[in-house]
Amino acid sequence: MAPIKQVILCGFGGQGIVLAGTILSQAAFNDGKWVSGTNSYGAAARGGGCRAEVVISDKPIIFPYVIAADMLIAMYQTAYNKYIARVKPNEGVIIYDEQFTPEETKGLKYVGIPATKTAIEELNKGIAANVVILSAAVEMTGIVTKKSLKSAIEEIIPERLRELNLKAMDIGFRIGKMKSDQIH
């Protein structure tokens, strides 16, 4: 893995984008990495295009925002349209919720994950789709360890929702495993 990994997560405010970003950065922290995170603030975080940025590194991070994303996790069409330009040309990976079909940019890798669909079908909670897609991305890319992702969920998610989110994580790992040949 490259020494610095830059990730943008984006979607519609309310889909849990900020939470997914916080879980990812906490997981990287638990892995002992240097990490910085930032996200949409104010009205955008509660409806409209919403994003979280995470930079993960083996060394101290000088510039803490994403300059060019290695990975874009997109959960909503308009947010994808807004952030696709920030993905590293010819290298970046887009992991998207199959709720929408992205217009593909040449040179980038695309992997669709049925995150919302599976969250509704298996958990009866569409709201858990953020953890499904994040966990699938972790399974496919190894950007953080699965162990640290689990501990981050346990630390961040309140007790009454913990079991639901751990189930969503396992679903994400399962889908990620099935799709991992599409990314390598």
Q: Which residues bind other proteins (CB under 8 A)?
A: 22, 25-26, 29, 34-39, 41-43, 61-65, 67
Least distance CB 34 / other proteins (angstroms): 6
Nearest CA to 57 among 24, 32, 75, 39? Answer: 32
**Closest CB to other proteins among 61 and 164?**
61
Rg, Å, the chain Cα set: 15
Look at phi and psi of residue 57 and say left if phi exceeds 0, alpha if psi is from -120 to 50, else beta: beta
Name the minimum Å distance from CB 126 to other proteins: 27
Nearest-approach distance from CB 88 to other proteins, in angstroms: 14
Which CB, 25 or 141, lies closer to other proteins?
Answer: 25
Which residue number, 155 or 163, has a Cβ lying nearer to other proteins? 155
> What 3-state class would DSSP assign to 3?
coil
* Angle between helix 115-123 and helix 159-179 axes, rounded to 10 deg: 130
Compute the least distance from the CB of residue 41 to other proteins, in Å. Answer: 5
Q: Which is nearer to other proteins, 34 or 100 (CB)?
A: 34
Map tokens 């889908």 to a residue: 175
Backbone angles phi, psi at 88, to 5 degrees: -60, 120
C-beta of 52 vs 127, nearer to other proteins = 52
For the bound state, the minimum distance from the C-beta of residue 175 to other proteins, rounded and expressed in Å, comes to 28
3-class SS of residue 100 = coil
Is there a contact between 29 and 149 (Cβ–Cβ < 8 Å)?
no
Widest pairwise Cα distance in the chain: 43
